């Protein structure tokens, strides 16, 4: 039974929230930043690529923040900076991740696997811990949304390193959700199937065999656009009685 007296009375309303998006300079992160800006929230575009973060923030009317999510000292400093500049953090979107390293089980090097684990799991943990500590200390009834992948639940040959890291992100989501509920902090995940970011679109042009192969696995018949993913993140950030879920945005791929 949760002691409800320890939970702050109400969360900050949409339109008045301070939202920190990691990997905000990337394909999906940029769309997520735009979606929160569209409802009137203040958005901090955080990314290890400082130039890309600055360019994205300036184009969207957001604030840029250079941070490597795998560096605990840099993460702590970044969180302090955001709170000093904006007063609090209401929403953390753990979107930063590496998708580029793949390999079959019998071939992948341990160092490549370690890289994925460092960014996708440890980085997500480090950001979550730092922001959760801050929200709890400040009495902020916040929300955290992790960007997972349905690959964590449905394997594709050659993608297991990435996919197992996303299974861990789903587990981390439930871990954080159960422990932070007493502070009124909700933690959820959005798990997309393949998303046509500029990078993916360039690597898999319309009509290419690779695009067709993915589309054939998706009952709704097409890969996701970034605009299919971002609204799910905004929804979970404001869904006051939902915590610990990983919401598939996959055109039904998990059904097949
Ligand atoms: P992307 O490569 O376009 O963007 C990722 C961003 O994260 C980049 O801007 C990169 O600089 C940043 N980043 C990487 N390492 C970082 C670090 N250590 N610290 C801070 N920032 C770092 O990729 P995307 O397709 O937009 O992916 C975003 C998220 O969505 C990832 O977590 C990815 O796993 C997930 N996802 C993507 C797809 C897809 O098909 N594109 C599908 C499912 C899930």
87 CA distance to ligand 1 centroid (A)?
Answer: 27
pLDDT tens readout for residues 45-55: 999 999 999 99
HEC secondary structure over the chain: CCCHHHCCCCCCCCCCCEEEEECCCCHHHHHHHHHHHHCCCEEEEEECCHHHHHHHHHHHCCEEEECCCCCHHHHHHHHHHHHHHHCCCCEEEECCCCCCCCCCCCCCCHHHHHHHHHHHHHHHHHHHHHHHHHHHHHCCCCEEEEECCHHHCCCCCCCHHHHHHHHHHHHHHHHHHHHHHHHCCEEEEEEECCECCHHHHHHCCCCCHHHHHHHCCCCCCCCECHHHHHHHHHHHHHCCCCCCCEEEECCCHHHC
Q: Please check whether residue 253 lies inside any domain of the structure.
A: no
* Residues classed as catalytic: 162
CA 151 – ligand 1 centroid, Å = 14
Angle at 88 between CA 5 and CA 78, to 5 degrees: 130
Using alpha carbons, select from 97, 136, 131, 176 the residue that is nearest to residue 18: 131
pLDDT computed for residue 100 by the predictor:
86
Q: pLDDT tens for residues 109-157?
A: 999 999 999 999 999 999 999 999 999 999 999 999 999 999 999 999 9
Ligand 1 centroid to Cα of residue 6, in Å, is 35
Q: Is residue 3 part of a domain?
A: no
Specify if 136 maps to a domain.
Answer: yes
Q: What distance in angstroms lies between residue 166's CA and the mean position of ligand 1's atoms?
A: 12
Regarding the beta carbon of 53 and ligand 1, being less than 6 Å apart is answered no
Q: From 25, 97, 203, give the residue whose CB has the most ligand 1 atoms within 8 Å, as the site to mutate.
A: 97
Whether the per-residue pLDDT at 7 is higher than 70: the answer is: no
Residue pair 247/173 in contact by the 8 Å Cβ criterion: no
In this structure, are residues 191 and 148 in contact, taking their beta carbons and an 8 Å threshold? yes
The closest-lying atom of ligand 1 relative to the alpha carbon of residue 70 is 18
The residue nearest atom 36 of ligand 1, judged by CA position, is: 149
For residue 80, being part of any structural domain is answered with: yes
Residue at 187 is within a domain: yes
50 pocket-lining for ligand 1 (C-beta < 6 Å): no
- Distance spanning both ends of the chain, measured CA to CA: 39
Examine the pLDDT at 32 and tell me if it is beyond 90: yes
Q: What is the count of structural domains for the chain?
A: 1
State mean pLDDT over 230-248. Answer: 98
State both tokens at 166.
């996303």
- Tell me if 233 CB under 6 Å of ligand 1: no
Q: How far is the CA of 5 from the centre of ligand 1 (A)?
A: 38
At 8 the pLDDT is 65
Asked if residue 26 has pLDDT above 80, the reply is yes
* Residue whose CA lies nearest to ligand 1 atom number 35: 147
> Given pLDDT bands bounded at 50, 70 and 90, which one contains residue 256?
confident
Distances (CA, A) of 12 to 15, 60, 184: 9, 22, 12
Position 247 scores a pLDDT of 98
* CATH number for the domain that contains residue 38: 3.40.50.720
**Tens-digit pLDDT profile for residues 159-206:** 999 999 999 999 999 999 999 999 999 999 999 999 999 999 999 999
Domain annotation covers residue 65: yes
pLDDT in tens, 80-111: 999 999 999 999 999 999 998 899 999 999 99
Question: Residue 1 has what pLDDT?
Answer: 40
Give the number of the atom of ligand 1 that is nearest the alpha carbon of residue 148.
44
Residue 38 lies in a domain: yes
Identify the domain containing residue 201 by its residue range: 10-247
Q: Does ligand 1 come within 6 angstroms of the Cβ of 68?
A: yes
Q: For residue 252, what pLDDT band results from cuts at 50, 70 and 90?
A: very high
Which pLDDT score is estimated for 3? Answer: 46
- Determine, yes or no, domain membership for 4: no
């Amino acid at each position: 039974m949760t002691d409800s007296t320890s939970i702050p009375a109400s969360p900050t309303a949409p339109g008045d929230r301070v939202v920190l998006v990691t990997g905000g300079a990337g394909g999906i992160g940029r769309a997520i930043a735009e979606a929160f800006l569209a409802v009137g929230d203040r958005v901090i575009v955080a990314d290890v690529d400082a130039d890309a973060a600055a360019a994205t923030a300036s184009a969207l009317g957001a604030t840029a923040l250079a941070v490597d999510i795998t560096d605990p000292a840099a993460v702590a400093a970044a969180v302090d900076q955001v709170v000093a500049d904006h007063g609090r953090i209401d929403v953390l979107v753990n979107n930063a991740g590496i998708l580029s390293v793949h390999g079959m089980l019998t071939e992948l090097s341990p160092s490549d696997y370690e890289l994925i684990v460092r960014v996708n799991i440890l980085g997500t943990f480090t950001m979550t811990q730092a922001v959760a500590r801050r929200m709890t200390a400040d009495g902020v009834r916040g929300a955290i949304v992790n960007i997972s992948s349905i690959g964590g639940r449905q394997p594709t040959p050659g993608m297991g390193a990435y996919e197992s890291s996303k299974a861990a992100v789903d587990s981390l989501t439930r871990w954080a959700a159960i422990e932070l509920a007493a502070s009124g902090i909700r933690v959820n995940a959005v798990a997309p199937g393949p998303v046509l970011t500029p990078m993916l679109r360039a690597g898999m042009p319309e009509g290419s065999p690779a695009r067709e192969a993915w589309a054939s696995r998706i009952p709704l018949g097409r890969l996701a656009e970034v605009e299919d993913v971002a609204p799910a993140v905004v929804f979970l950030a404001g869904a006051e009685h939902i915590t610990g879920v990983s919401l598939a945005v996959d055109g039904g791929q998990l059904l097949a």
